[in-house]
Amino acid sequence: MAGTRFIQGFIFSLATIFFSWPGAQTAEASCGSVTCFVVIGSQQQVSPKGLLTVNAFYNYTPQGTLLSGTNGVIPAVDLDNRQLILGHHQEIRTISQMYTLDLNYGVTDQFGIEVAIPYKRIKHQHIDGLGEVNGGAGDLTRFSDNGIGDIFINAKYNLLPTLRSMVVTSFGVYLPTGDHNQKTAGVGGSAETMEPTAQVGRGQVGLQGSIYQTYEIIPHRLNQFASASYRHTFRNNFGYQFGDQFDFGLGANLVTVPWLVLTNQFNYRYMVHDSFSGSLAQSLTPSDPGFPGEATVLDPNINNRAVPTTGSTFFAYTPGFQISLGELVKTSLTENTSLYFYSQIPVARDFNGNLAQGVSYVFGITKLFQVMKPS
């Protein structure tokens, strides 16, 4: 009975987090956002033939830390005028939330298909219009946006299907299903296109290749795992291209009792600078003639330019646990069902002058369904 009450309370708490967050507000400006990344075995592996593995997880990532030697002043990407404006606003805080439905189906015992459907929410604060408005001090701006992101379709193949080991290679495509041309409310009926990094979609196809490996050091007791992935996104119609992304993970799972698995992993992510095809301008500073006023045009030519405060290097330690509900409470509802939680703690990070990612969290639930009986 105590175990049942614990499970009910845990599920209720998880549901509260999923559904009680404040609704979207009108967006007025835009800045970068990142998401937490962890290795989840049930998401990486190939399901046995005829088995559907359903993952539903929530990802919470705060971005509000100014690293030493930085001030949070970043450029603006003006899509409508195709202009990159240096020093245009100062970051305060970004909170990214991702709700993902991840479906894995075993076509054969070695080949599987994964479909991941994300729902993204962004809340952001910054001081906008440095050098232009409010005597050059800028205006405090808050906005949020939400919606379905880019759907990921992934083909996976298990190269080493043995009792103690698995090596899965995969190749997937990100479809540009997320909204990438969201407009601000504007003043006096005007509206501007939000910057690409604040949109819920990237506006162009992306490709990702990855490899996942796991081995049981002590059968049914201790296993290690490792993963690596590379993502490339093509340039969208606004002339913006998100930088390539490299993810690496290494960790181990320990079965303490049949219903509780403890996990520890290290995660490393390297993101290349984004690029934008546009002209170049610079916001005025108090020492410039004409301050405050319109930004000074440095180069009117439309050229491909790196966005200097995008891209990052991030290394984190991520402890977590998984609860097997079917082992803890024997009911038809909890059979083949697991809950998991991870906390990603930064160890080393460099965000090129932008706000740095803080401690992030992942909550999730996994459920197995036998769709077709194996022959």
| Total domains, the chain | 1
Structural domain contains residue 24: no
Integer angstrom CA distances of residue 229 from 169, 211, 239: 10, 6, 25
- Tens digit of pLDDT for each residue in 280-304? 999 999 999 999 999 999 999 999 9
Q: Collect all residues with Cβ–Cβ distance below 8 Å to 187 and sequence separation of at least 6.
A: none
Tell me phi and psi for residue 19, to 5 degrees.
Answer: -115, -5
Q: Which is nearest to 168 in space by CA: 153, 158, 179?
A: 158
Q: Which is nearest to 29 in space by CA: 82, 68, 79?
A: 79
| CATH code for position 336 | 2.40.128.130
What local confidence, expressed as pLDDT, does residue 32 receive? 59
Structural domain contains residue 85: yes
Tell me the residue range of the domain where 253 lies.
33-370
Structural domain contains residue 200: yes
- Tens digit of pLDDT for each residue in 311-339? 999 999 999 999 999 999 989 889 999 99
Structural domain contains residue 1: no
- pLDDT grade for 59, boundaries at 50, 70 and 90: very high
Q: Where are the alpha helices (DSSP H) in the chain?
A: 2-19, 41-44, 325-328
- Average pLDDT for 14-32: 36
Residue 220: count other Cβ atoms within 10 Å of its Cβ: 9
Structural domain contains residue 337: yes
What local confidence, expressed as pLDDT, does residue 79 receive? 93
- Average pLDDT for 49-62: 96
Beta strand segments in the chain, E:
51-65, 73-78, 83-106, 111-128, 139-148, 152-158, 165-174, 206-218, 222-233, 240-241, 245-257, 260-271, 275-282, 296-306, 312-324, 337-350, 356-357, 360-370
Distance CA 57, CA 364 (A): 4
- Tens digit of pLDDT for each residue in 213-229? 999 999 999 999 999 99
pLDDT, averaged across the chain: 89
> Between 186 and 371, where is the model more confident?
371
Range with the largest mean pLDDT of 12-21, 69-78, 242-251: 242-251
CA end-to-end span of the chain, whole Å? 39
Structural domain contains residue 86: yes
Model pTM?
0.88
Distance CA 68, CA 332 (A): 53
Cα dihedral value 158, 225, 232, 33, nearest 10:
140
- Tens digit of pLDDT for each residue in 71-106? 999 999 999 999 999 999 899 999 999 999 999 999
Q: What angle do CA 356, 359, 362 make, to 5 degrees?
A: 120
Structural domain contains residue 62: yes
Structure tokens at 373: 């009986």
What local confidence, expressed as pLDDT, does residue 35 receive? 84
Structural domain contains residue 16: no
Distance CA 128, CA 165 (A): 52
Distance CA 90, CA 128 (A): 7
